[in-house]
C-alpha cells in the first residue's frame, strides 16, 4: 500500500512539474519583451520607475511602458518591436484614463463582456484598445485615441 501512495505522489509531482515548466516556457517571451521594453524606455525616455506594461499586436507590434521620469512626470512610452521606427513618448496627463476610454465605449456600444484594455498604436496614433464580446458573443475591438485633444474612436466589429 505504501508503494502505491509513493508511486501516486511521485506521478502527481512529475505532472505538476511538467505543467509548471510549460507555463514558464510560455511566459518567457513576454517577460523578455517586458525587460527589453523597460530598458529601452529607461534609455530613451529617462524613466526611473515603471508602473505598467502592455504588449500590443496590431499591424505592428508595440510594447508600451508607463512610468515616471527623473523629473517626476508620468509618461507613456510606445516602443515598436522594429526598433528602427520612432519611439513615441506622451505625458500621462495629456491622455485619457482607462476609465474614460471605457466610458466612451459604453456611450457607443453595449458590450456583453469586456475582455481587456491595453495601450497600443493604431495608424501611428496612440490608442486604448478595448476588446469585448457583444450580445451575440462575437469578438469586437474598440479603439479610443489616447490624446485628450482628440475625440476619435473606432470600432472593428465581429471578428
pLDDT tens per residue, range 31-55: 888 888 888 888 888 899 999 999 9
Mean pLDDT of 11-18: 92
Lowest-confidence range among 9-18, 29-38, 44-53, 105-114?
A: 29-38
Q: How many other CB atoms are there within 10 angstroms of residue 100's CB atom?
A: 13
- CA–CA distance, 129 with 142 (Å, rounded to integer): 6
pLDDT at 158 over 70: no
Average pLDDT of the residues of the chain: 88
Per this entry, what is the length of the chain?
Answer: 159
Least confident of 78-87, 89-98, 118-127: 78-87
Q: What is the spatial distance between Cα 48 and Cα 62, in angstroms, rounded to a whole number?
A: 20
In the chain, what percentage of residues exceed pLDDT 70? Answer: 92
pLDDT of 21 > 80? The answer is yes
Burial (0-12, 13-18, 19+ Cβ within 10 Å), 128:
buried
Model confidence pLDDT, tens digit, residues 72-82: 899 999 999 87
- What cell does 113 get? 463582456
- Domains of the chain (ranges plus CATH)? 2-93 (3.10.450.40), 98-156 (3.10.450.40)
Asked if 61 and 84 count as a contact pair (C-beta separation under 8 A), the reply is: no
pTM of the predicted model as reported, rounded to 2 decimal places: 0.80
Q: Which residues of 12-34 are buried (b: 16+ CB within 10 A; e: fewer)?
A: eeeeeeeeeeeeeeeeeeeeebb
Distance CA 67, CA 51 (A): 5
Distance between CA 108 and CA 141 in Å, rounded? 13
Amino acid at each position: 500500500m505504501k508503494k502505491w501512495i509513493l508511486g501516486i505522489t511521485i506521478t502527481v509531482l512529475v505532472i505538476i512539474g511538467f505543467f509548471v515548466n510549460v507555463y514558464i516556457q510560455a511566459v518567457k517571451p513576454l517577460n523578455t519583451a517586458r525587460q527589453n521594453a523597460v530598458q529601452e524606455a529607461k534609455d530613451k525616455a529617462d524613466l526611473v520607475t515603471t508602473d505598467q506594461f502592455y504588449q500590443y499586436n496590431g499591424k505592428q507590434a508595440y510594447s508600451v511602458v508607463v512610468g515616471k521620469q527623473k523629473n517626476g512626470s508620468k509618461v507613456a512610452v510606445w516602443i515598436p518591436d522594429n526598433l528602427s521606427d520612432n519611439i513615441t513618448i506622451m505625458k500621462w496627463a495629456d491622455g485619457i484614463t482607462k476609465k474614460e476610454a471605457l466610458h466612451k465605449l459604453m456611450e457607443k456600444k453595449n458590450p456583453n463582456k469586456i475582455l481587456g484594455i491595453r495601450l497600443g498604436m493604431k495608424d501611428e496614433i496612440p490608442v486604448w484598445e478595448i476588446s469585448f464580446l457583444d450580445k451575440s458573443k462575437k469578438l469586437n475591438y474598440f479603439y479610443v485615441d489616447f490624446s485628450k485633444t482628440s475625440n476619435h474612436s473606432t470600432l472593428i466589429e465581429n471578428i
